[in-house]
Amino acid sequence: MSKEVRFGDIAVGSEMPALVKMPVDHMQLVRYAGASGDFNPLHTDPEVGKKVGIGQIAHGMLIMGFVGQAITDWIPKKCLKKFSVRFAGMTRPGDTVTVTGKVREKADGNKIVCDVQAKNQKEEVLVAGFFEAVLP
Amino acid sequence: MADASVVGKEYPPFQWEVERGKIREMVQAIGDKNPIYVNRDAAVQEGYKDSPATPTYITVPVMWTNVLFKIVKEMKINFARVLHGEETYEYLQEIYPGDILTGRMKIVGMDQKSGKAGSMDIVKVEFTYTNQRNEPVLKATTMIVERK
């Protein structure tokens, strides 16, 4: 799946293959709540979201999970050394999330630094951050 | 409640056993089809000892042991107004099914900011994890925000 990328094949500006996810739905949020243990009802009970005034939103960590999926679809998990994100926007049921990334820097020791982001179908940024990896 | 005096506070270590089924639940919820996370043979073929934990797996012990809620409660943070601001992981070694992790939690930052959406309190928490051989495996930094 993700074993062919080598340091020499990558240039600053190289793009990580984009990952387009299936639309987020209520069932996915329930499943993610059960898997992760984050049972904040804001994510799983639309009524709670209404009361708080922001509506039902996805777990930020689910979207970081999408970004992690895109990264380790591209480079092997074992090459990943650092992964950092800022939660910039709210994801709602029905949103289609697309993850993209671009190499910002190549450094000594076969290290790459790559900016990543997840956006919804309206091009709003949901998650933005970077990862560092050491490639063969 | 921004209270700078708690910066540096450490909490008693917590333990967590890594289960294969929980890694599977996480990738199924995310929709990540990478076979290494659920199929030991596929993982071994790619050079792992077993199916590795995913990049964001470590949220599982934090949520299931409720450690972060200790801080939320202690600091009288209104949970309904808490947002996850940032999350950072440093991977030091692979985490595998059967590993017994020891997590240590420490408050490393406390800040108050005001922006266009009003003021907010920012709490930064650092987690360090070692495995059953006392080898460091992961460092995590979580930033949570309480909107006022």
Residue ranges of domains in chain B: 4-19+61-147
Report d(CA B57, CA A30) in Å as an integer.
Answer: 17
Q: Give per-residue pLDDT as tens, B81-112.
A: 788 999 999 999 999 999 999 999 999 998 88
The secondary structure of residue A56, as a DSSP letter, is -
* pLDDT of B37 over the 60 cut: yes
* pLDDT of B1 over the 80 cut: no
Place of tokens 């939660």: A87
Q: Give per-residue pLDDT as tens, A48-107.
A: 888 888 899 999 999 999 999 999 999 999 999 999 999 999 999 999 999 999 999 999
Looking at chain A, the whole-number percentage of residues with pLDDT higher than 90 is: 88
Classify A52 as helix, strand or coil: helix
Q: Which residue of A has its CA nearest to B57?
A: A36
Cβ–Cβ below 8 Å for A83 and B88? yes
**Higher per-residue confidence, B75 vs A103:** A103
Report d(CA A66, CA B88) in Å as an integer.
Answer: 15
How far, in Å, are B52, B68, B146 from residue A38 at the CA level? 22, 11, 17
Task: Judge whether A11 is closer than 8 Å to chain B, CB to CB.
Answer: no
* pLDDT of B76 over the 90 cut: no
Which pLDDT belongs to residue B115? 75
Show the CA angle centred on residue A94, arms to residues A89 and A100, nearest 5°. Answer: 55
Q: Which of A42, A82, A85 lies nearest to residue B90, judging by beta carbons?
A: A82
- HEC sequence for chain B: CCCHHHCCCECCCEEEECCHHHHHHHHHHHCCCCHHHCCHHHHHHCCCCCCCCCCCCCHHHHHHCCHHHHHHHHCCCCHHHEEEEEEEEEECCCCCCCCEEEEEEEEEEEEEEEECCEEEEEEEEEEEEECCCCCEEEEEEEEEEEEC
A78 contact residues in B (CB cutoff 8 A): 46-48, 52, 94
3-state helix, strand, coil in chain A (%, to 5): 30, 30, 35
Range 38-77 of A in CB contact (< 8 A) with B = 38, 40, 42, 52, 60-62, 64-66, 68-69, 71-73, 76-77
Task: Judge whether A83 is closer than 8 Å to chain B, CB to CB.
Answer: yes
Q: Which residue of A has its CA nearest to B91?
A: A81
The overall average pLDDT reported for chain A is 95
Which pLDDT belongs to residue B143? 96
pLDDT, mean of residues B44-65: 97
Asked if B43 and B51 count as a contact pair (C-beta separation under 8 A), the reply is yes
* pLDDT of B21 over the 80 cut: yes
Cβ–Cβ below 8 Å for B55 and A68? yes
Report d(CA B11, CA A129) in Å as an integer.
Answer: 28
pLDDT, mean of residues B44-61: 97
Which pLDDT belongs to residue B2? 60
ipTM of this model? 0.95
Q: Give per-residue pLDDT as tens, A32-44.
A: 999 999 998 889 9
State the smallest CA–CA distance between residue B94 and chain A in angstroms. 7
Task: Judge whether B142 is closer than 8 Å to chain A, CB to CB.
Answer: no
State the smallest CA–CA distance between residue B135 and chain A in angstroms. 16
Fold of A7-134: Thiol Ester Dehydrase; Chain A (3.10.129)
B4-19+61-147: in CATH 3.40.1160.10:
no
* pLDDT of B148 over the 90 cut: no
State the smallest CA–CA distance between residue A104 and chain B in angstroms. 18
State the smallest CA–CA distance between residue B4 and chain A in angstroms. 23
Q: Which of A22, A42, A72 lies nearest to residue B31, judging by beta carbons?
A: A22
- Look up residue A132 and give its two tokens: 């560092």
* pLDDT of A3 over the 60 cut: no
Range 61-80 of B in CB contact (< 8 A) with A = 63-64, 79-80
Burial class (CB in 10 A: 0-12, 13-18, 19+), A18: exposed
